[in-house]
C-alpha cells in the first residue's frame, strides 16, 4: 500500500484529505503533518517545522508559507520523494506545481 503524506497549515488541506479518505477506496495510507499557529514572515531555518526524514511514496504540499514549501521541496528532492504543490510557484527543489 502506498503512503501519502499531506503537509498542511491551519487545516489548509482538510477538504483534499477528506476526499482522499472518502474516495480513495483504502488504496493508500494518508498521513498528515499539521503546522498550526502563527509563523514569522521569514523562516531561515525550517528545522523546527519540518521533519528531517519523510517516509512516503508521495508528498502533497498545502502549506501557505513559501519558505516552508521551498524547504519541503528541497527535502523531498534529497529523499527522492515526489512532491505536488498545486497552484504554487516553488523556487527550490523539483516540486510538481500544476495550476489549480
Domains of the chain as residue ranges with CATH: 2-84 (3.40.50.20)
Q: Has this prediction a pTM greater than 0.85?
A: yes
pLDDT digit string (tens) for the chain, length 100 residues? 899 999 999 999 999 999 999 999 889 999 999 999 899 999 999 999 999 999 999 999 999 999 999 999 999 999 999 999 988 787 788 888 888 7
Query: Residues 94, 79, 64, 95: what is their CA dihedral angle, to the nearest 10 degrees?
Result: 20
Cβ distance 24 to 78 under 8 Å? no
Amino acid at each position: 500500500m502506498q503512503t501519502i503524506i499531506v503537509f498542511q497549515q491551519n487545516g489548509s488541506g482538510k477538504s483534499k484529505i477528506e476526499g482522499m479518505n472518502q474516495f480513495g477506496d483504502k488504496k493508500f495510507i494518508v498521513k498528515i503533518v499539521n503546522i498550526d499557529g502563527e509563523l514569522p514572515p521569514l523562516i531561515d531555518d525550517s528545522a523546527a517545522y519540518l521533519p528531517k526524514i519523510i517516509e512516503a511514496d508521495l508528498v502533497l504540499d498545502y502549506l501557505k508559507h513559501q519558505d516552508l514549501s521551498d524547504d519541503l521541496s528541497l527535502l523531498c528532492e534529497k529523499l527522492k520523494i515526489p512532491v505536488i504543490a498545486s497552484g504554487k510557484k516553488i523556487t527550490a527543489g523539483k516540486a510538481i506545481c500544476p495550476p489549480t
